[in-house]
Structure 1
């Protein structure tokens, strides 16, 4: 997804001279072409995440369109106050783009794990929140919203799903509708595991790449069913549950710190987010 991010920004910057890129010493080599082509629109501020946000807000105040990029927990949890006050309170536009979603940096432990960023970002007034699951979703959403004048958070993963879906800002996707009483809901790259788990089950499947604004109309269409929300980070369930009449169960989000090291697949298995475990949870609800 990072490569798609860079390609999309390069394409947009060729026709929009207001675009600037701010990096926190991450993806610097990836953006070498941007630095060479637009040296006066490229800033690597180092490991100073709060400064990244404040400088980005200042550039936005001058009429520019910043893309602010580094690792997920550093650009959200570490500088939440700056995002709240410098961007959101002042109603300034800006694109916060993270990498290392959830457990992409599984081997680096709690400092690099990120399962609160989506929930935190969606609480902020004016903030839009996106969890694209593929490069295509990322490209469409950035092109649609990067110049909206609102602050936006895009959460990138190095492990995208390979499902080709129609993408529309603010709209969820009906993956499967079989008139079932159980609706499995998920977002982002985890869709691949959900599809594998539910391929033989009598369940509906809904998918969201836009967490805020959530697709209220789609949720209401299925609100007469029970929702099983499969997520590896907070945010999706809270967004779904804000709609009236929803009965939901969440599966996968850790209650405490995840102390499992290894690969993303190792962590997902530990959290019972592998296809076999997801299937077992869905079957358990189907039997009730």
Structure 2
């Protein structure tokens, strides 16, 4: 199966052909995949070289002229390194773009910590007005990329990963998908962690919600699920643990509830290893998730606690 990033260049190249507003801005990474598109649209496919602050600034300038820029590089170079430009050139100036990242939290372990960005979504959470898509399958990535480009002049972040679920789900760029219904808690699986969550909860009486759009969070769907399954919520995210617990707490602020946020830990893992070994080390494989979900839901039976 191809990867989410494999879909990126073909989808955006077609959008360049279809929509004269679409532009692509690159910082060396991924340029070869746009070779043909650059020949067809030399004024709308721009490679600024290894200059990530310029990458964002140039994209914001294109947005000010009325174009819809799609900006791509590794997450650590797209969100973390040029964060001041993301904050000012887009947010302060009121411009929009589609930021599309690769490498995610630990997709390229051999690249070391410089190429890992588990804090990217949490960092964008400090800014106003960003939509955040986290697809879990290449088909979903294609759908959400099209949604993002078509979203007027909004600010959108699409987080691509080499991790993928076995099958695509029907996603629409806005709503949670109910994958399984139960009565003893709600587990929200974000993007490529759905399969691990389903394996971990196979015999548990819990509702499993699937999130590929985490900002804004689909509050009505979450509230409906907790009415039937109770207000113990486990949140499983493929980036920094606890990133979305505040969003869940806000959604349930009028109800007694508990939230457990699972995700990538803050401690740096200094061995390269494999993607699977990093997932296991952070407790994001089926075995690690089952242990912590059992502990949380078991501790909450018969108790009502608000966090």
* Shift, 1:222, TM fit: 3.1
Taking a change above 3 Å as real, the CA distance of residues 69 and 110 of structure 1, as seen in their structure-2 partners, is same
Equivalent residue for 1:248?
259
Q: 1:190 aligns with which of 189, 193, 196?
A: 193
Equivalent residue for 1:25?
28
Distance 2:250 2:138 in 1: 28
Equivalent residue for 2:62?
59
* Shift, 1:285, TM fit: 2.8
TM-score, structure 2 as length reference = 0.88
Look up the SS of the partner of 2:139 in the other structure. Answer: helix
Distance 1:252 1:124 in 2: 21
Does the 8 Å contact 2:192/2:238 carry over to 1?
no
Does the 8 Å contact 2:60/2:89 carry over to 1?
yes
* Shift, 1:144, TM fit: 2.2
Does the 8 Å contact 2:136/2:168 carry over to 1?
no
Deviation sequence 1:173-223 (CA, Å, 0-9, x none)? 111112x22211121111121122222222211111111111011121234
Name structure 2 gaps, 5 residues minimum: 300-307
Does the 8 Å contact 1:65/1:146 carry over to 2?
yes
Name structure 1 gaps, 5 residues minimum: none
* Shift, 1:254, TM fit: 0.5
Does the 8 Å contact 1:129/1:153 carry over to 2?
yes
Q: CA RMSD in A?
A: 1.6
Distance 1:42 1:283 in 2: 50
* Shift, 1:47, TM fit: 1.3
TM-score, structure 1 as length reference = 0.94
Look up the SS of the partner of 1:200 in the other structure. Answer: coil
Count of residues in Structure 1 that have an aligned counterpart in Structure 2: 287
Equivalent residue for 1:230?
236
Equivalent residue for 1:267?
278
Q: 1:239 aligns with which of 232, 247, 271?
A: 247
Distance 1:163 1:122 in 2: 29
Does the 8 Å contact 2:260/2:296 carry over to 1?
no
Look up the SS of the partner of 2:143 in the other structure. Answer: helix
Alignment of 1:285 onto 2:296: yes
Alignment of 1:113 onto 2:90: no
Alignment of 1:220 onto 2:223: yes
Distance 2:188 2:269 in 1: 23
